[in-house]
A and B are shown apart, each in its own frame.
Chain A
């Protein structure tokens, strides 16, 4: 589904990604973990084409992502901080995106998210008046309603209340059963342990460790994922 070959990215003198190689197959939740500044967001944005890689190759569903844009029709992206045109109301934003993107739009998914997140009352409100958590819900809604085959969720549950957070996690698990690929980042290890199948641990721009959740916990000798990852990070900091 997604294949990355020897990906490098420099921002000026700062080398953020130093040769990433990975291959992700569908039907799983992949969590990209790592300390702040390890290149998680840059990796996701490179695959999306928001960041132009310095060198390396990216393939999405066999199509090369370099100098291309059409492959993004397979992708739904939920950024770290939700960004919208401020002057629109929620209803206008949804209608506009449906009009621009159209492909894959599924009104049933839209309705289930509006209901699950209780967004009905905000439909005619300007987006700039919404709270951070509500914006995050809107961001999830506009990502999921196009029913993409590939999801990139950058810290999806940050700012959500427990009810909404559980709802979103259920929806994420549901996509796995429908044979979609979900790639997410998070700093909440209990959440990763709950929903992720596979973990990629980034450290200073390289993949330090990868494996299934179970493998990572067992190899570390710790009792849960949080401690296992903390141990990895500590080792990484010394290293």
Chain B
């Protein structure tokens, strides 16, 4: 039953012009970066900064829009002999997989196109971890968007909360970290800051990529600390684990809420 629902979710998603636009955005952006920078490592460094802003924002906004827009469809499905959780999960997978495919194709196609003509090392592993980080961010923030859209009946409140989550993870959190670093500069801060990075999925995704970039120190204090404390392998496993927790936490809360919701 879930597989059939998933099929129709994809069918619906690829009729949606947002998904196409999302693909074209990354395609044009990555092509332009390769055209000017001509080095995969530099492209990854720039792309990473953009991805950690753009993917959470679009995943939150599009996720909330899709969930509110498909309310009719959900109501129709709910009157059929289908489990509530299958409806939610297939909608979630339909959205996240479609967005991830659009993003991954958008950044991989220019890479494959330029890689032959460039003299710099291709950095397969680095580029691959960038794509993985982007996909993780999509799964995390769509889960948040679905949780928010299930929680708030009112669209305005839903979009407001989505924007708040984005502001927290991209701006407010960095501000708090900076404040703590400056205020407690006389104390050893490595461990607290390390722990705090777990409180922000974007920071974890960033660490996940920059641990392979060898310029970790340039890309934020928490990244530098993370690299200092963990050898790269352990760092990868820890950040991987934390990213999974960040997917399942909003997903399970949203699912629980959805199963108790009145339509």
A contact set with B: CB distance below 8 Å: 11, 45, 48-52, 69-73, 75, 77, 79, 83-88, 96-97, 99-101, 103
Residues of A within 8 A of B77 (CB): 100
Task: Note all chain B residues with C-beta closer than 8 A to A49.
Answer: 78
A52 with B262, Cβ < 8 A, contacts A83-B72, A84-B72, A85-B70 known: yes
- B59-89 vs A, Cβ < 8 Å mask (1 yes, 0 no): 0000000000111110111111111100000
Interface pair A11/B262, CB less than 8 Å apart: yes
Which residues does chain B contribute within 8 Å of A45, judged by CB atoms? Answer: 262-263
Q: In the complex, what residue of chain A is closest to B78 when comparing beta carbons?
A: A50
Task: Show 10 A/B contacts (Cβ-Cβ < 8 Å), sorted by A.
Answer: A11-B262, A50-B78, A52-B261, A70-B81, A71-B81, A84-B76, A85-B72, A86-B69, A86-B72, A101-B81
Residue of A nearest to B260 (CB): A52
Judging by beta carbons under 8 Å apart, are A83 and B81 in contact?
no
Known: A83-B72, A84-B73, A86-B72. A69 touches B262 (CB 8 A): no
B236 within 8 A of A: no
Instruction: From known contacts A70-B81, A79-B79, infer whether A100 and B5 are also in contact, taking CB-CB under 8 Å.
Output: yes
Q: Which residues of A contact B84 (CB under 8 A)?
A: 69
Which residues from B are CB-within-8-Å of A75?
79
Q: Is the CB of A103 within 8 A of B262?
A: no
| A50/B12 in contact, CB under 8 A | no
Contact B73 A50, beta carbon cutoff 8 Å:
no
Interface residue B15 (Cβ < 8 Å from any Cβ of A): yes
Q: A50-B78, A69-B81, A79-B79 are in contact. Are A100 and B1 (CB under 8 A)?
A: yes
Residue B233 interfacial (CB < 8 Å): no
* Residue B244, interface by CB 8 Å: no
Is the beta-carbon distance between A83 and B83 smaller than 8 angstroms?
no
Complex contacts, A48 vs chain B, CB 8 Å: 78-79
Interchain CB contact (< 8 A) of B262 among A51, A72, A100: A51
| Residue pair A69, B12 in contact (C-beta under 8 Å) | no
- Closest Cβ of chain B to A60, distance in Å, is 11
Measured CB to CB, the closest approach of chain A to B71, in angstroms, equals 8
Interface assignment of B152: CB less than 8 Å from any CB of chain A: no
Which of B1, B73, B81 sits near A72, CB closer than 8 Å? B81
What is the bound-complex CA distance between A85 and B16, given in angstroms?
12
Task: Please give, as numbers and ranges, the residues of chain A lying within 8 Å of B1 by CB-CB distance.
Answer: 100
In angstroms, Cα B14 to Cα A117, docked, is: 32
| Known A-B contacts A45-B263, A99-B4; A85 and B76 likewise in contact (beta carbons under 8 Å) | yes
The contact of B15 among A51, A69, A87, by CB within 8 Å, is: A87
A101 touches B8 (CB 8 A): no
Name A102's closest neighbour in chain B (CB-CB): B4
A51, A72, A83 — which one has the most chain B CB atoms within 10 A of its CB? A83
> A83 contacts B76, CB within 8 Å?
yes
In contact, A85 and B73 (Cβ under 8 angstroms): yes
Neighbour of B81 across the interface among A52, A73, A96, CB < 8 A: A73
Residues of A within 8 A of B5 (CB): 100
A-B contacts besides A51-B262, A101-B80, 18 pairs, CB < 8 Å:
A45-B263, A49-B78, A51-B263, A52-B260, A69-B82, A69-B84, A72-B81, A72-B82, A83-B72, A85-B76, A86-B69, A87-B12, A87-B16, A96-B8, A97-B80, A100-B5, A100-B77, A100-B80
